[in-house]
Structure 1
């Protein structure tokens, strides 16, 4: 059943008229002054105070007290201001004969001024990718399922507000950040050589977000499906009771309207993570957009590097290489040098069944029976039914399963190494024993990310803050690995857990996530 829209919101909005009125400067100055006074906890103001405050800005020329009073009356008519009688004692006969009022900005106009103030600071899409929001959402949904929706009213309201605020922030900031990568300024930046300085940070930033998304999405989607109608009803009943415990001077909505709002937002949350029968989830689209952004950055980097290589002159290198060839007296040495410099020439690989009549090695290849191979046409024109034989679809499910197993095992080794380092808290390179290949690659990646950061620190997708300390004496050490040894500075690392609850949940559920 489709939800019926609020037809009252489709009418004319009188509160917006002062933004584009004839005397817009005067109206905007009065509203801005009242809004600033409202933020300073000064609510009811007299016309004399408003007039004096506006005139201090020196933006209105030849503006009189009478014109200010007319503008205030007009703003009251447009429902931007409300007024009350000023009951203070009159000091003159004119003040006694004339009705005195005080004015207060309305809530609708407060939101308009906040919106206009925000518009003035908008420079682009902005946004960010925060993997920790997935942990907050996953923990809240798991808590709702484990408690079967039974909460104290205040606790239920806090859980719901934390869940929905995290969801709103995740949706808005991630979409804004992905959109910022498709602007004209981003396109221009990706075409310049200066982008090479940022490509590693951009790529790692997007990869960390995608990894957190993939690891947490299954847990969130699974718990959402486990929360049935009864749990949902009990939880929203507690949320409703918690909301009604807050004293309200004005009644903005009824309990039935608030209950409908909770149900609508819950459906929005489920649809964003799980989708429905007709559309894919917004989470899937966000993952695809993040992956496309990574591909776009890599392609731009390759184009810039190819362009730089094409501009560099190789005259000196070729001259040195030619003299080297000239000095060689043995043709075999010249062949080896050519192989090192130029590599293999382009080759063509042909397939076929090797049906030999003899096992003798002395028979020339020209004496062997020819192998017939049907070559598919490269023409772009669509071929007819009789143009060639149809080929069967190759089943690569076993290869995919084996590749998935290898990737999962590699991620498990990375996580085990991170857990080991986190339990130690701090460690030096010289204190490490013989490391496997995966741990060495992970350690060098940490060094590179910390060195490229101003704070010499970064956050892993699991929420661990890794900080690098460079030795003061620049002492070197030897790192022993399974595939060799490496000499480097004796760096020190510290590992800090920012969210202990999320980290413990990660340790408890990571095995299941990787196997899934």
Structure 2
């Protein structure tokens, strides 16, 4: 992306010197008077008028006209004011030669005073969540699609101004409002009792904004995606044409500069709603931040309610609940009542071996075989010193595990060899299969699905490939422990070249 920063934009700003100068009160008073008169459409001021106005405010004592003239000259030197000779009322040549001056506020100074006036009103982040801005943006983007190339340049300029102003207002106000919810003042408010009265209004305000965002976001994204580069360039060309045709007294920017600025604005709009392909869009970040704010509010209210309930005795409630448990005759009913009354208890993770004998998802945990594990005592009482024990040997357990592994490998090889005789088959061609076969098939299907080329090689050198990974046909695999509905995959079995050479060598050695 081409940079819009030039040397002129990086220059020093002498127009800001009066804000922190030695006689800042005098300079600020003069500039504020000029700015107030500018808003009243009165532009050229005489030193006498400035001096009288400053004295009338009463903020400066013993302020002379000579000091005022000196300050005006200094402000002119810094570039804040422009001057011209005032000879209209001169009756003699001597009066005319005294250099009576009039002063005018320069454009830089107007913006500086406007900024300072805005800063004086800042008491916090402010901002708001204006959901109507989404509708305005969606409407203007749809209108750009509809009238691109057919509208007049003036109408295109008006349409772009309304679109970008709505976008800037939405972004800046939303960013300020979400930032205000992260301040220390907001944190202190959320833990006070008075927040309980305010929380419903705040939560509804955030929820309504989220709903409007989700309702209008897809319209904006759809319109942005449907506006092609040609339509965008044609529309921005019309906007630039209207900007160039507007009469200007000062030097106007070139067409290339205006077009680059408009393209940058369009890129900002597109990145805000669609993202840049690397990071999520600002719209997604705004939605996530708003949802996080709602969650923080809810958590704060829950904590306050829990604190209020912590000092209340629940003896009668617990006695009533205990009587309810006592009246139950079945253990299952007691389990259900405990679940409704207390919910899930805090979990404890215990290490153990998974010895499940079935993969059924609907099997209750109460029907599972128990896993015995010895827990270490947490008592602070020091245990008696015990003699060291030798390291136990697990040769017998290792031998059994080795035999189990080899037996499983042999069973898998026998099944693979039987399937290799078919070469290829579909799941629908299989009849009822044992549970181990079903698990093995699901293992193969899972490995083929996750592999880039939908194939893998077993340790025995057998290549198993899935030829129709994207099939939409369905079938039912019948097994001992139930029926499994899955796509009708086709699996192909073949030996790799290395396995084929080993097999050929083995057969040759056996015949010799």
Which secondary structure state, in structure 2, belongs to the residue aligned with residue 84 of structure 1? Answer: strand
Q: Does 1:51 align with 2:48?
A: no
Q: Which residue is 2:264 aligned to?
A: 264
Deviation at 1:297, TM superposition (A): 0.8
Q: Would the alpha carbon gap of residues 174 and 342 (structure 1) be closer, same or farther in structure 2, given more than 3 Å must change?
A: closer
Deviation at 1:126, TM superposition (A): 0.7
RMSD: 3.8
Tell me, in whole angstroms, the C-alpha distance in 1 between the residues paired with 2:78 and 2:89.
30
Which secondary structure state, in structure 1, belongs to the residue aligned with residue 82 of structure 2? Answer: strand
TM-score w.r.t. structure 2 length? 0.64
Tell me, in whole angstroms, the C-alpha distance in 1 between the residues paired with 2:97 and 2:170.
59
Q: Which residue is 2:6 aligned to?
A: 6
Aligned ranges 1:197-276 → 2 under 5 Å:
197-276=197-276
Tell me, in whole angstroms, the C-alpha distance in 1 between the residues paired with 2:267 and 2:40.
39
Tell me, in whole angstroms, the C-alpha distance in 1 between the residues paired with 2:256 and 2:10.
22
Q: Would the alpha carbon gap of residues 116 and 325 (structure 1) be closer, same or farther in structure 2, given more than 3 Å must change?
A: closer
Tell me, in whole angstroms, the C-alpha distance in 2 between the residues paired with 1:184 and 1:235.
46
Q: Which residue is 2:387 aligned to?
A: none
CA deviation map 1:398-428 (0-9, x unaligned): xxxxxxxxxxxxxxxxxxxxxxxxxxxxxxx
Q: Does 1:26 align with 2:26?
A: yes
Q: Which residue is 1:78 aligned to?
A: 78
Q: Would the alpha carbon gap of residues 85 and 178 (structure 1) be closer, same or farther in structure 2, given more than 3 Å must change?
A: same
Q: Would the alpha carbon gap of residues 149 and 294 (structure 1) be closer, same or farther in structure 2, given more than 3 Å must change?
A: farther
Tell me, in whole angstroms, the C-alpha distance in 2 between the residues paired with 1:268 and 1:55.
48
Which is greater in Rg?
A: 2
Give the gaps of 5 or more residues in structure 2. Answer: 348-353, 360-365, 377-397, 399-442, 447-512
Tell me, in whole angstroms, the C-alpha distance in 2 between the residues paired with 1:272 and 1:39.
35
Between the two structures, name the one with larger relative contact order (CA 8 Å, sep ≥ 6): 1
Aligned ranges 1:105-504 → 2 under 5 Å:
105-314=105-314, 332=327, 344=341, 371-372=368-369
Q: Would the alpha carbon gap of residues 63 and 171 (structure 1) be closer, same or farther in structure 2, given more than 3 Å must change?
A: same
8 Å Cα contact 2:127/2:172 also seen in 1: yes
Which secondary structure state, in structure 2, belongs to the residue aligned with residue 56 of structure 1? Answer: helix
Q: Which residue is 2:103 aligned to?
A: 103
Deviation at 1:145, TM superposition (A): 1.2
CA deviation map 1:322-368 (0-9, x unaligned): 7x999x9xx749999xx99996567889996689xxxxxxxxxxxxx
8 Å Cα contact 1:131/1:212 also seen in 2: yes
Q: How many residues align?
A: 365
Q: Would the alpha carbon gap of residues 340 and 133 (structure 1) be closer, same or farther in structure 2, given more than 3 Å must change?
A: same
Tell me, in whole angstroms, the C-alpha distance in 1 between the residues paired with 2:152 and 2:270.
24
Deviation at 1:150, TM superposition (A): 2.8
Which secondary structure state, in structure 2, belongs to the residue aligned with residue 102 of structure 1? Answer: strand
TM-score w.r.t. structure 1 length? 0.63
Deviation at 1:274, TM superposition (A): 0.7
8 Å Cα contact 1:354/1:371 also seen in 2: no
Q: Would the alpha carbon gap of residues 298 and 325 (structure 1) be closer, same or farther in structure 2, given more than 3 Å must change?
A: closer
Q: Would the alpha carbon gap of residues 256 and 371 (structure 1) be closer, same or farther in structure 2, given more than 3 Å must change?
A: closer
8 Å Cα contact 1:150/1:235 also seen in 2: no
Q: Would the alpha carbon gap of residues 22 and 342 (structure 1) be closer, same or farther in structure 2, given more than 3 Å must change?
A: same
> Which segment is superposed worse, 99-108 or 370-379?
370-379
Q: Which residue is 1:436 aligned to?
A: none
Which secondary structure state, in structure 1, belongs to the residue aligned with residue 154 of structure 2? Answer: helix
